[in-house]
Amino acid sequence: MSGPSGDWSSAPAREPGHVDETALGREARPAPDASAPGRADGRVHGTPAPEYGEYAPAGWVNPVLVEQERQAAEQQRQDAAQRRDADERRASDPNRPASDQRAGRRTSGADRPGSASSTPASVPASPYGASRLDFVLTVGLLFIGLWSVFQALSTGTVASTTRAYVTGQFGEMASPADLSSAAVVRAVVLVVVFALVAWWSVRRLRAHRWTFWVPLVGGVVASVLGAVPMLVVVFQDPAVQESIRRMTGG
Q: What is the pLDDT of residues 174-186, one digit of tens each?
A: 888 899 999 999 9
* Alpha carbon distances (Å) from 46 to 36, 50, 70, 97, 122: 10, 13, 21, 61, 54
Q: How many CB atoms lie within 10 A of CB 108?
A: 22
Which residue, 214, 87, 249, 38, is CA-closest to 139?
214
Say if residues 125 and 132 touch (Cβ distance below 8 Å).
Answer: yes
Q: CA-to-CA distance for 226 and 186, rounded, in angstroms? A: 5
Helix axes 155-170, 238-248, angle to 10 degrees: 30
User: What does the pLDDT read at residue 40?
Assistant: 46
Q: How many residues does the chain have?
A: 250
User: What does the pLDDT read at residue 194?
Assistant: 96
Which residue, 121, 141, 115, is CA-closest to 194?
141
The whole model's pTM is what? 0.50
User: What does the pLDDT read at residue 164?
Assistant: 92
User: What does the pLDDT read at residue 187?
Assistant: 95
User: What does the pLDDT read at residue 34?
Assistant: 47
The set of residues, in sequence order, having a beta carbon less than 8 Å from that of 237 and lying 6+ positions away, is 166, 173, 174, 175, 178
Q: Which sequence spans correspond to the domains of the chain?
A: 63-111, 132-248
Low-confidence residues of the chain: pLDDT under 70: 1-60, 93-126, 250
Helix axes 178-206, 213-235, angle to 10 degrees: 170
